[in-house]
């Protein structure tokens, strides 16, 4: 059983920064591919970034160069550093992994607005 708990969402002005965290339970964290997804109102959930067990990363084009995904295996925690935030980044951000089945966190709200 895996539990994922996100934190760090907030209201921020355009151009601002936030850091999201995803704390994972279980001993499988270090060997798991971890991802951040987001879902804006009325939109489908979309992949934002992914990090492999070796630290390799992938970003969707809309966030590449502004967001940085990282992981701390000793703390079983994944991060998403979000810089130069735009109103279109407003969404609920979810932590995701697959270990025999899909596991999702409860989500954390990020609102970018002046």
Residue 1 pLDDT class (50, 70, 90 cuts): confident
The residues pairing with 81 across neighbouring beta strands, listed in sequence order, are 19, 68
Phi (first) and psi of residue 77, to 5 degrees = -135, 140
Q: How far apart are CA 20 and CA 25, in angstroms?
A: 17
Q: How far apart are CA 58 and CA 93, in angstroms?
A: 16
Express as a percent the part of the chain with pLDDT over 90. 90
Q: How far apart are CA 39 and CA 65, in angstroms?
A: 20
Give 19-45 pLDDT, tens digit per residue. 999 999 977 788 899 999 999 999 999
């Amino acid at each position: 059983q895996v539990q994922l708990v996100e934190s760090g969402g907030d209201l921020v002005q355009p151009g601002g920064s936030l850091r999201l965290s995803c704390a994972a339970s279980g001993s499988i964290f270090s060997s798991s591919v971890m991802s951040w997804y987001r879902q804006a109102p009325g939109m489908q959930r979309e992949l934002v970034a992914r990090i492999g067990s070796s630290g390799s990363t992938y970003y969707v084009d809309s966030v590449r160069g502004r967001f940085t995904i990282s992981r701390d295996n000793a703390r079983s925690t994944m991060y998403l550093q979000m810089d130069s935030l735009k109103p279109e980044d407003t969404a609920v951000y979810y932590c995701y992994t697959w270990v025999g089945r899909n596991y999702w966190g409860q989500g954390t709200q990020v609102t970018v607005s002046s």
